[in-house]
Structure 1
Amino acid sequence: MTRAAANPAAGRIDTAPMLETAAQLLGPDDGPDVLPPVAPELETLTALLRTHLGLLIPAVEAQAQQTDADSIPKFCALACVGEATRKLRIGDGCTPDVRVAVARKLARCVRALCDHYEQLGGGNR
């Protein structure tokens, strides 16, 4: 699996392991060719994605608040934060197909928030 994504000493989030986790569900280009993991691994990945979002949402929100008041990247990032927050409210699903769909939605949110975090100057790429 992946290592911890937070680096408390630096006050920054290491987005690389978060992106690795998302790639396990989406592949490099979010293609439909990626086979979903089996149930126990899918549950672990879903929980890990929820944890990543729990770190990313406040970090992206804080980074966005530090930008100019009329900044387009700020509003895009905050919209993504709102969408990710809504996605966290979705249950894991009661069928295998729904569980995979939910996990992939969370993975897309992780990717998007990592991108916003990087664009707003918080990243490490």
Structure 2
Amino acid sequence: MNATAESGNATVPLDIGTIRETAAILLGPDDAPDALPPAPCELDTLTAMLRGHMELLIPEVEAKAGRLLRDSGLRHRGLAYVGEAKRKLRLGDGCTPPVRVAVARKLARCVKALCDHYENLDAEQP
């Protein structure tokens, strides 16, 4: 769980555990759709954090997938999910409270999946 992201010329380690915890706040313990949403001010903060996490995870997953053999199924799944994550980043925040919660939960599920892909790709590196 020692992902890194480039910041200028230095690399900064990503804390995958903390990133997962941020996503879990919105999803509840079992990714239940009836999990209580956070307060509106917390929702804005969590949504911004999730977007930031995605912006850090996407290039990491993309780079790891790109290093696998071209015919690797794991490579194809990783790159496909990177494309999906990029599309999710283009979602607006929503105008009504229920839509804002739904968007935040979509981002949280995406972050969770990116973490999974990162770890799976990390295990598969040559």
Q: Please, what TM-score do these two structures have when normalized by structure 2? A: 0.86
2:5 touches 2:12 (CA, 8 Å); kept in 1? Answer: yes
Structure 2: gaps (5+ residues)? none
Q: How does 1:81-96 map to 2 (within 5 A)?
A: 81-96=82-97
1:7 touches 1:14 (CA, 8 Å); kept in 2? Answer: no
Q: Distance in 2 between matches of 1:28 and 1:77?
A: 25
Q: Tell me, what secondary structure is at the counterpart of 2:77?
A: helix
Report deviation, 1:34: 1.2
Q: Distance in 2 between matches of 1:35 and 1:6?
A: 32
Aligned to 1:103: 104
Aligned to 2:34: 33
Q: Tell me, what secondary structure is at the counterpart of 1:67?
A: coil
- Aligned partner of 1:83: which letter? E
Cα-Cα RMSD: 1.9
Kindly provide the CA deviation profile for residues 34-65 of structure 1, in whole angstroms up to 9, marking residues without a partner as x. 10001000000000000000000000000000
Q: How does 1:59-98 map to 2 (within 5 A)?
A: 59-98=60-99
The percentage of aligned residue pairs carrying the same residue is 63
2:4 touches 2:60 (CA, 8 Å); kept in 1? Answer: no
Report deviation, 1:7: 7.1
Greater share of strand: 2
Q: Please, what TM-score do these two structures have when normalized by structure 1? A: 0.87
Moved over 3 A (4+): 5-12
- TM-aligned CA distance change 1:56 to 1:7, over 3 Å: closer
The reply to whether residue 118 of structure 1 matches residue 119 of structure 2 is: yes
- Aligned partner of 1:38: which letter? A
Report deviation, 1:15: 0.8
Deviates more, 1:27-36 or 1:13-22: 27-36
Report deviation, 1:33: 3.1
- TM-aligned CA distance change 1:89 to 1:10, over 3 Å: closer
- Name which structure has the greater RCO, CA cutoff 8 Å, separation 6+: 1
Q: Distance in 2 between matches of 1:47 and 1:29?
A: 23
- TM-aligned CA distance change 1:7 to 1:79, over 3 Å: closer
Report deviation, 1:10: 6.6
Q: How many residues matched?
A: 118
